[in-house]
Structure 1
Amino acid sequence: MKRVVSVSLGSSKGNKTHEVEILGQEFRIERIGTDGDMARFAQMFLDLEGKVDALGVGGADIYVVVDKRRYAFRQILNIVKKVQATPVVDGSGLKHTLEREAILELQNSGVVDFARQRALLVSAVDRFGMAQALAEVCPNVVYGDLMFGVGLPIRIRSYRTVRWIGSLLLPILTKLPFQWFYPTGEKQEKRTPKFGWAFQEATFIAGDTHFIKRYAPDRLDGKTILTQTLRKDTIAWFKAAGVERLIATTPVMGGETFATNVMEGVIVALLGKRPEDIAESEILDVLKRLDWKPTVLDLSGDSEQPPEP
């Protein structure tokens, strides 16, 4: 049995384990939260090295991406680069493939008509595949990087501007502590709504689950949300906020979804290669065989349970 473990800076309340067969191979998939404890987070990677088939970085990014250039968060990179015997992934491989394809699949299948949407992507540099795909199919997109990443009440209305601002700021920002930009541990459960007008203007809201929940207003009536990690309490929160449709980019396992870092770990384990040796075409080929499609949950009725694939 292959074992994939996501070590997360998030709350341990979200810990879970699931066993599943994928492309004829048995997998044990785990998520272990360290409650924002950076020292424990770092030690767990060393403790699990050589004992699992892939390790995922949860509740954090190693890289953010603008166009084709990657910028590493120095603090996180310094932790994971000590791990040599086991592949370590942060979901970047799927953010550029699975999440990009999810936008195109929603458009091509008619689930979402992006020509009629006003989209808000809370962070383009974090969900760069989504950002690039939205730039292709949606004429009205607001990228929230300056609002929710830096705290400035400035809408970015083109991906070209994201590239320009990113090239100026990311070389500096990625050298600062990661916790300055993303909630970890118990902070993931604390809501600090801001720039509510950006959410109210949008009909389609996309991005990281914690980012959206942390900054969104109490009411999101009639909105469609595209995100990656859906837990039962998260689904209940979005339903109570009035969200009409909730869409996940990752497949449902055990009634919930795992984050992109976990699912990238599954693909790495299936291919038996290190992430740096895997071509994008190989990831796309595996995704085609897996036939992972966006999970669409209608919250306007009584259902709060995502369907198993």
Structure 2
Amino acid sequence: MKRVLSISLGSSTRDYRFTAIILGQRIEIQRIGTNGNSERAAELIREYDGRVDVIGLGGLTPIFRVGAARYPHQEAIHIASQARRTPVVDGGVIKSTLERWSIAQAARRAPDLFRYKKILLTSGIERYQMAAALAQYDAELRFADPIIHSGLRFLPLPHSLAQLELYAATTLPITALLPYRMIHPIALGQEGHDPRAERAFGWAHVIAGDFAFIRRFAPKDLKGKVIVTDDPSPQEIEDLRQRGVVTLVTMHPPLTDEGGVACPRPFVSSDVLEAVVAAIQETGRQPNEAEVLDFIAAAHWGPTIQDLNPRPKPKFAFVIHPLRTNMISKHPSFRWTRFLPQRLVELIAAQMPPMYLSRIRGIRSKATGEEAEGILITLAATPREMMRRPPDFTYRRLIRAARMSERMGARLMGLGAFTSVVGDAGITVAQKTEIGITSGNSLTVAATLEAAKQAVTLMKGGRPEHVRAVVIGATGSIGAVCARLLAQAVGDVVLIAPRAERLLALKQQIEQETPGARVTAATTPDPFVSDADLIITTTSALTGKVINVDKLKPGAVVCDVARPPDVKKEDAARRPDVLIIESGEIVLPGEPDFGFDIDMPPGTAYACLSETALLAMEGLFGDYTLGRNIELDRVKEMYRLWQKHGLQLAGLRSFGVYITDEMIAEKRRLAEERRKRLGLSSDVVVK
């Protein structure tokens, strides 16, 4: 049986001795702490030299590796040199291999664990490789080294790897000549909590480093914190739970004995693991990186992630923007803009960065009872400003909004109104950000078709045998999937879009998917709207009239999905016999409070916002609806989740007014009168 011994400057209260099974070999593992007494550490090395297979140095680093520089510590080197027959290791190779691997694996399993978080490293010079690994996740780093080494709380902390390297170059040549107790958290005869770094600990979302440092300097209140460390004992893990730690990431693997039962001390320090590697490989020296990497792969070592307390509710974010210039003055900070020339306001506002608007609260799933919390963010550009600029103009602002959302705790961001149709409809933004992105168009389609079905049924007095549908903007992301589903539902659909090549491709696709459907393609709507029972318009036109309302069939239904709307109120007034509705809007479950006027009735939201909230309720935080080819399966899944979590289609609205039975009855009467004047037959369902 192999024997490894860790001689540590740390507290003797953390000593242990047990046997573990690693790669089929029995290893006896022992730790002896010296409470910061370096002379006792040297004495123990001489005592056990030749009596164990490998000695590990705990809390002692003979050579600090910070960036490309190496800083030998004279006392630590002297202590390590006391062994003549037994190889001595310090855990440095484990830190540069296993710990980096563990950080990467933890980030893969929980993508929001480190990205954009405030991370405090208790000692950057001790754990430079860990710092370098964490720096890859766009985190805001701080290093507590100056406060811990000097005890002077007013000293500024390094904020980057470059500043840490500068700190090391400035201080380590001097510190390396001083007793090691000036660096290690357990100085001679000292034990218990040291409050010198409490402010830095309070600042951080994530606290990372040697557990000896965390044990010594962390404040009692760790509520909501993530701890990334090496070797806490079961009792210390329970203490972290009691102090409010949300997630514990242990970079070292749990050791087990025969039968796979966890050892009394499952987690051990880096020098112990490195000693185990050296003992099993029988190299008689400190293993190199290649040897350790082979061992890690063979032993399947990796991190352990434990949720010690419930995680904060995952958040979603949603991006809106003003549809008209006068909406900019709705923001309390910009009310004064109503006194300025509106075109000037529009031009200047377009250049502004994304801004936080409000918290979205009170959305509660009927299926799980869980609340989904959101963040409302706005761009200040109007549709006109977005459309007259290259897509990159909007992409840059959306990417910035995504990173802002992630810093605020969101894991999914929805794109509202024109932000979902600019350029490639969210694909570029999704590729350049880590947060999940959705355009919300899957639920928009589902809600639009449900609203259209209800409206047609109301205007016909029942479900008609034959309906002809016209989709204007049919080759867009929403229009195309609406046309494909309508072809399956009604069997007669007219596709309207300006580009013939896209129209033909869509026509062929629908005819393949729905054999027997009547599919007509055209570039202008006028010849077809006079015979259409249902018109869905989804264009991004900013000028000109998309529909000539005077040519509409009596009693027709127009579902206007476009934002800004394609049909103006003054035009609709000329045809009181036609029902013009807004796209399907959603009543969210619970008692939603958007914290800002989104131009919707209380508790009601646009379908694109509702899709984002619905995905958060379901726990789906990856990219969802992207690009111009919306998947039919995603639309059908939205139907299912909509019902599961208790969302409801809002009442039909026309220009902001809810449609009543009396209004429907009047429109049907006027439609019947118009048919008679035009000599048309009635198409009202006879019951």
Mapping of 1:12-161 within 5 angstroms? 12-110=12-110, 112-152=112-152, 153-161=155-163
| Local SS of the residue matching 1:39 | helix
> Any conservation in 1 of the 2:253–2:303 contact (CA below 8 Å)?
yes
Aligned pair 1:296/2:298, yes or no?
no
> Any conservation in 2 of the 1:193–1:217 contact (CA below 8 Å)?
yes
| Local SS of the residue matching 2:43 | helix
> Any conservation in 2 of the 1:191–1:213 contact (CA below 8 Å)?
yes
State the Cα distance separating 1:90 from its structure 2 match: 1.4
Distance 2:211 2:229 in 1: 6
Letter in 2 for 1:194: R
State the Cα distance separating 1:185 from its structure 2 match: 6.8
Letter in 2 for 1:80: A
Mapping of 1:192-203 within 5 angstroms? 192-203=194-205
State the Cα distance separating 1:249 from its structure 2 match: 1.3
259, 262, 266: which is aligned to 2:276?
A: 266
Question: How high is the sequence identity, in percent, across the aligned residues?
Answer: 34
State the Cα distance separating 1:45 from its structure 2 match: 0.6
Q: Name which of structure 1's ranges 108-117 and 160-169 shifts more when overlaid on structure 2.
A: 108-117
> Any conservation in 1 of the 2:106–2:305 contact (CA below 8 Å)?
no
Change in 2 beyond 3 A, CA 1:93/1:274:
farther
Letter in 1 for 2:235: D
Distance 2:244 2:303 in 1: 21
| Local SS of the residue matching 2:195 | coil
State the Cα distance separating 1:173 from its structure 2 match: 0.5
Number of the residue aligned with 2:207: 205
Q: Name which of structure 1's ranges 177-186 and 83-92 shifts more when overlaid on structure 2.
A: 177-186
State the Cα distance separating 1:251 from its structure 2 match: 2.1
State the Cα distance separating 1:203 from its structure 2 match: 0.9
Letter in 2 for 1:46: R
Unaligned 5+ runs, structure 2:
256-262, 311-687
Letter in 2 for 1:290: A
Mapping of 1:241-256 within 5 angstroms? 241-253=243-255, 254-256=263-265
| Local SS of the residue matching 2:4 | strand
Q: Which has the higher contact order (CA 8 A, sep 6+)?
A: 1
Give deviations 1:173-206, integer Å, cap 9, x for gaps: 0110111221337756311112323212211110
Q: Name which of structure 1's ranges 228-237 and 143-152 shifts more when overlaid on structure 2.
A: 143-152
Give deviations 1:27-66, integer Å, cap 9, x for gaps: 1111122333333321211111112110011233223220
State the Cα distance separating 1:97 from its structure 2 match: 0.9
Residue-pair matches, total: 300
| Local SS of the residue matching 1:287 | helix
| Local SS of the residue matching 1:6 | strand
Letter in 1 for 2:156: I
> Any conservation in 1 of the 2:225–2:246 contact (CA below 8 Å)?
yes
**TM-score, length basis structure 1:** 0.90
| Local SS of the residue matching 2:292 | helix
**TM-score, length basis structure 2:** 0.42
Number of the residue aligned with 2:474: none
Letter in 1 for 2:299: L
Aligned pair 1:163/2:173, yes or no?
no
Number of the residue aligned with 1:305: none
State the Cα distance separating 1:213 from its structure 2 match: 2.3
| Local SS of the residue matching 1:267 | helix
Aligned pair 1:229/2:231, yes or no?
yes
Letter in 2 for 1:217: P
State the Cα distance separating 1:231 from its structure 2 match: 1.2
Larger radius of gyration: 2
Distance 1:94 1:19 in 2: 21
| Local SS of the residue matching 1:142 | strand
Stretches of 4+ aligned residues off by more than 4 angstroms: 185-188
Distance 1:213 1:188 in 2: 13
Give deviations 1:130-182, integer Å, cap 9, x for gaps: 01111222331112222222334312111011112211211110110111221
Unaligned 5+ runs, structure 1:
302-309
Q: CA RMSD in A?
A: 1.9
> Any conservation in 1 of the 2:10–2:212 contact (CA below 8 Å)?
no
> Any conservation in 1 of the 2:46–2:83 contact (CA below 8 Å)?
yes
Distance 1:68 1:188 in 2: 34
